[in-house]
């Protein structure tokens, strides 16, 4: 059962869009329409309907989960296929369970982003710069795999990534507009960090049981690992603090 979704922007200042999803495929990308949210929700079983609730400046899109609808869900997974408008700035919240997520947010005027999911596969990218400054950016995961790409285009000032048992690939390429900080704290996991060669970057890492593997091009300065761009001009810069309880860190410089 395929359900069309079309939600206009609320009239309130700084609207908040929240997704609360369970087992599903979740595809999200920028669109060129006037509606805030446009697309479809496909529920082959018909027992996990999409629920849209609007109150004040917040819109919540969720799934109603009935037990009968979960029996064959691995064979007939519901799918969100949605586009977001860049007409007005807004806050974005995504809360997911065991889901497969493919999210592209490049060019959207995002005031803040908060993501949390329990398990599954999560991919998020910013192929174009955010036209406004992002107040906060938080990502929290349980188990599974996560890939974050072109993060400097997100325009964040502060990024926080927290996770448990997972595999993380984080790419900090993109456009740097101001000094920004990234704090990464994960448990039993492997962490691959890609940082640009032409952007000043300083990295401080802590691995309790594990090691650090890095490519050439880094120099130690005041306890930080810095690239050549940082030595030439340390501001504005990207500062990364990475803590891994049990796992390895791979640090790479990309062109």
Distance, CA of 243 to CA of 207 (rounded, Å): 6
Q: What is the pLDDT of residue 166?
A: 76
Within 46-109, strands assigned E span 50-55, 58-63, 79-84, 90-104
C-alpha distances in Å from residue 6, one per residue of 59, 61, 84: 12, 11, 10
Is the backbone of residue 234 left (phi > 0), alpha (psi -120 to 50) or beta? alpha
- Predicted structure pTM score: 0.92
Q: What is the pLDDT of residue 71?
A: 43
Distance, CA of 129 to CA of 131 (rounded, Å): 6
Q: What is the pLDDT of residue 68?
A: 42
Is the backbone of residue 154 left (phi > 0), alpha (psi -120 to 50) or beta? alpha
Tell me the pLDDT of the chain (255 aa) as tens digits.
899 999 999 888 899 999 999 888 999 999 988 899 999 999 987 778 899 999 989 999 998 765 444 444 455 789 999 999 999 999 999 998 888 999 999 999 999 999 998 888 899 999 999 999 999 999 998 888 899 999 999 999 999 999 887 789 999 999 999 999 999 999 877 899 999 999 999 999 987 666 788 888 899 999 999 999 999 999 999 999 999 888 888 999 987
């Amino acid at each position: 059962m395929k359900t069309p979704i079309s939600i206009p922007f609320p009239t309130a200042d700084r609207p908040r869009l929240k997704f609360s999803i369970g087992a599903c495929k979740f595809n999200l990308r920028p669109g060129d329409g006037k509606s805030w949210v446009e697309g479809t929700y496909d529920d082959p079983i018909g027992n996990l309907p999409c629920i849209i609730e609007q109150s004040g400046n917040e819109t919540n899109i969720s799934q109603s989960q009935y037990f009968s609808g979960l029996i064959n869900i691995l064979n007939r997974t519901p799918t969100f296929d949605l586009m977001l408008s860049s007409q007005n700035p807004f806050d974005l919240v995504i809360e997911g369970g065991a889901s497969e997520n493919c999210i592209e947010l490049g060019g959207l005027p995002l005031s803040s982003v908060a993501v949390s999911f329990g398990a599954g596969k999560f991919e998020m990218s910013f192929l174009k710069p955010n036209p406004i400054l992002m107040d906060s950016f938080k990502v929290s995961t349980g188990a599974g795999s996560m890939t974050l790409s072109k993060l400097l285009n997100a325009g964040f000032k502060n990024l926080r990534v927290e996770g448990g048992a997972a595999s993380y690939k984080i790419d900090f390429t993109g456009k740097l507009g101001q000094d920004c900080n990234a704090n990464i704290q994960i448990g039993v996991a492997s962490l691959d960090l890609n940082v640009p060669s032409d952007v000043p970057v300083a990295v401080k890492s802590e691995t309790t049981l594990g090691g650090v593997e890095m490519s050439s091009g880094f120099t130690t300065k005041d306890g930080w690992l810095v690239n050549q761009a940082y030595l030439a001009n340390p501001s504005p810069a990207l500062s990364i603090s990475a803590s891994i309880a049990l796992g390895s860190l791979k640090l790479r410089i990309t062109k």
